[in-house]
Amino acid sequence: MNKVAFIFRTPPHGSAAGREGLDAVLAMSALSEDIGVFFVDDGVYQLLGGQDPTAILGRHYAPTFGLLELYDVEHVYVCAQSLAERGMQQEQITIAAQLLLPSEWPQQLAGYNVRLSF
């Protein structure tokens, strides 16, 4: 079975990429335990608490990331530099995740032979 990495690079609202990526992660979790979820660049905003997309008529799907643990998705990583560049702290993200320095990303991603970017 392939090991699959899901890489979230885009902000949560303005496109359907984040919501579709989350749906793909949850669907894949039924088929494989070899899943890694990575948040980098503006993708770290996917995990920012207190979002309210109702003003732009968007669906508030961010709380669904809390299901990753329930779906046995245990390998969740957030880029520490991306958080810092956006003035965010680890305490502001809504799920448990391991912070990675940019130098650690290649080593973590090397273990996944399929990489999907959202």
Mean pLDDT per 10-residue section of the chain, whose length is 118 residues: 92 84 94 93 88 67 84 95 95 92 94 95
Q: What is the pLDDT of residue 36?
A: 97
- Each domain of the chain, given as residue ranges in start order, spans 4-117
Class of domain 4-117 as given by CATH: alpha beta
Nearest Cα neighbor of 3 from 69, 75, 71 is: 75
Determine the residue type at 86. Answer: R
Check residue 18 and give its pLDDT: 87
Residues forming a β-bridge with 100: 79
Q: What residues have CB less than 8 Å from 72, skipping those under 6 apart?
A: 29, 33
Q: What is the pLDDT, as a whole number, of residue 55?
A: 66
pLDDT (tens digit per residue) in 55-87: 656 666 777 888 899 899 999 999 999 999 999
Q: How far apart are CA 39 and CA 77, in angstroms?
A: 6
Query: Which of 56, 25, 57 has the alpha carbon at shortest distance from 43?
Result: 25
pLDDT at 61: 76
Contact 44, 82 (CB under 8 A): yes
